[in-house]
């Protein structure tokens, strides 16, 4: 039986000078080892929700509890177990791939011997070893996505947050990224994932939450949700639940 690794209770976020809550009393449990998707239109509250889960933003009320090593931890106390891969590139473009990985690995406190092995593994796994000594400013978009992922998983996180990990990449880079993500999942990493690539999401996620106006409007497997709402796929499901009006 799978157990919750993240337990979210009445999570709410109100921004100053806004009369509308960005996130409204969300209750949710994410299971250990699952690949969990969070989807919704622009402005739905996804980024705010994920930022509170990671401890990047503080909540106005409610709680996010992590169940790790027989302990219950709040987000900031669980940071050493968490990996985060943002949509924006989070590296130093004037440094090489190996220099970036070495820098972030030392920030994580990884020993020199283990860090060298980890860097070698990731550079080879993501097919970047042949350009490891080139500045990231010279990399293609797909190569930058792959090194962005490598940095986010250097610390062998038990929980990995992914925000649009394949935006702007070609099919080969996408394949390499998902091959590594599926390897991490098979090894027990819990993955929380958000993307606008809905077909990609259908293939990857075990379970998902659909969010709009700061609230969960759908929760379950893709099969459960499409059957319940009499639609064929995730795109139709989102339109059914959130409408056709443009979200800018």
Domain range for 146: 4-242
Structural domains in the chain (count): 1
Among the listed residues 33, 162, 187, 28, the one whose alpha carbon sits nearest the alpha carbon of residue 85: 162
**Is residue 235 over pLDDT 90?**
yes
**Is residue 231 over pLDDT 90?**
yes
Identify whether 247 is part of a domain. Answer: no
Task: Quote the pTM value.
Answer: 0.92
Identify whether 64 is part of a domain. Answer: yes
Identify whether 63 is part of a domain. Answer: yes
Instruction: Order across the sheet with 23-31: list the strands.
Output: 23-31, 4-13, 61-68, 71-74
Lowest mean pLDDT among 76-80, 114-118, 138-142, 231-235: 76-80
Whether residue 4 contacts residue 65, with contact meaning beta carbons closer than 8 Å, is answered with no
The H-assigned helical ranges of the chain are 46-54, 97-108, 112-125, 141-152, 171-186, 198-204, 222-229, 234-242
CATH number of the structural domain spanning residue 175: 3.40.50.300
- Model pLDDT, residue 141: 92
- Model pLDDT, residue 120: 97
* Paired tokens of 120: 């070698």
Give 82: exposed, middle or buried? Use CB within 10 Å, 0-12, 13-18, 19+. Answer: buried
pLDDT tens by residue, 80-111: 899 999 889 999 999 999 999 999 999 999 99
Identify whether 248 is part of a domain. Answer: no
β partners of residue 30: 6
- Model pLDDT, residue 222: 95
C-alpha separations of 232 from 73, 180, 204, 226 in Å: 39, 29, 17, 6
């Amino acid at each position: 039986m799978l157990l919750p690794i993240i337990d979210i209770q009445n999570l709410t976020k109100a921004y100053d000078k806004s009369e509308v809550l960005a996130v409204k009393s969300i209750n949710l449990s994410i299971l250990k080892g699952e690949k969990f998707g969070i989807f919704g239109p622009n402005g739905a509250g996804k980024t705010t929700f994920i930022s509170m889960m990671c401890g990047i933003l503080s909540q106005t009320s409610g709680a996010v509890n992590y169940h790790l090593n027989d302990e219950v931890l709040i987000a900031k106390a669980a940071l050493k177990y968490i990996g985060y891969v943002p949509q924006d590139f989070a590296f130093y473009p004037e440094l090489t791939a190996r220099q970036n990985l070495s820098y972030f690995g030392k920030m994580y406190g990884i020993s020199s011997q283990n860090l060298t092995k980890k860097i070698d593994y990731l550079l080879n796994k993501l097919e970047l070893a042949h350009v490891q000594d080139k500045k990231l400013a010279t990399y293609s978009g797909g190569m930058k996505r792959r090194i962005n992922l490598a940095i986010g998983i250097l610390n062998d996180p038990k929980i990995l947050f992914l925000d649009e990990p394949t935006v702007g990449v070609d099919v080969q880079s996408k394949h390499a990224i998902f091959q590594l993500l599926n390897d991490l999942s098979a090894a027990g990493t819990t993955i929380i994932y958000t993307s606008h690539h809905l077909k990609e999401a259908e293939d990857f996620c075990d379970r998902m939450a659909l969010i709009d106006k700061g609230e969960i409007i759908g929760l379950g497997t893709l099969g459960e949700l499409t059957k319940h709402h009499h639609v064929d796929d995730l795109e139709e499901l989102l339109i059914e639940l959130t409408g056709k009006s443009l979200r800018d």
